[in-house]
Amino acid sequence: MYYMSLKHAILGFLSFFPLSGYDLKKAFDNSVQHFWPANQSQIYRTLAELEAGGLVEKEVVEREERLDLKIYSITEAGRAELHQWLATPLPQRDDREPFLIQVYFGGQLSDDELLNVMKYKLKEIEEQLALYEAVNQMIQSTPQQVSDPRAIFLSVLTLEAGYVNNQSIATWLRSAIERIENKNYTIHIGTHE
């Protein structure tokens, strides 16, 4: 049984071309941060594990006035690991959402308190939607380093999924806020409202 780990994302990036740890961080920030963020220390720690496991190789490029540059390449064993993970259906993930616990027990709050929580969540989601739109604009205006149109399409599909999911939650939140403000406590499951 496979679960997503940072190692699979790193192997995925290295399957395109060799990268330094710094360039991997930039790759995360410029492409998948909307659903899989990673910090620099996590990336370097995982690269060391991947190297120890024979899934990547490191080439050290000596530089005179700067620190040596470490470039990582995926090995055949790394490609096999990535392929097996990509081809394996993943189990349902744990979808714990603390915000929904707040809503579920929100009857213990005043309408103003509950609306404050809900409006804050809506603001967060609207900021995320703006980030998706900005990433999409960047993708559309930047020449692609990967020349495979199918790979580009699939990478942008992940952005589309995040946008659609967050847009749906934003629509639901706006409706819920409006119903609470109007003291209209009707449920809209299956009514497409």
Q: Do 103 and 177 lie in a common domain? A: yes
User: Of the residues 49, 68, 87, which one is the last residue of a structural domain?
Assistant: 87
Full residue range of the structural domain in which residue 120 is found: 98-181
Q: Do 58 and 109 lie in a common domain? A: no
Burial string for 166-193 (b: 16+ CB within 10 Å, else e) reads beebbeebeebbeebeeeeeeeeeeeee
CA–CA separation, 24 and 61 (whole Å): 17
Q: Is the pLDDT of residue 3 over 60?
A: no
The pLDDT tens digits of the residues spanning 121-142 come to 999 999 999 988 887 887 777 7
Check: CB of residue 84 under 8 Å from CB of residue 24: no
Predicted structure pTM score? 0.73
User: Of the residues 39, 67, 87, which one is the last residue of a structural domain?
Assistant: 87
| Total domains in the fold of the chain | 2
Q: Do 81 and 10 lie in a common domain? A: yes
Label residue 146 by pLDDT band (50, 70, 90): low
Check: CB of residue 21 under 8 Å from CB of residue 43: yes
Strand partners, 74: 56
Q: Do 113 and 174 lie in a common domain? A: yes
Q: Is 92 part of any domain?
A: no
3-state SS class at 63: coil
The pLDDT tens digits of the residues spanning 103-114 come to 999 999 999 999
Mean pLDDT for 177-191 is 89
The pLDDT tens digits of the residues spanning 7-46 come to 999 999 999 899 999 999 998 888 787 778 889 999 999 9
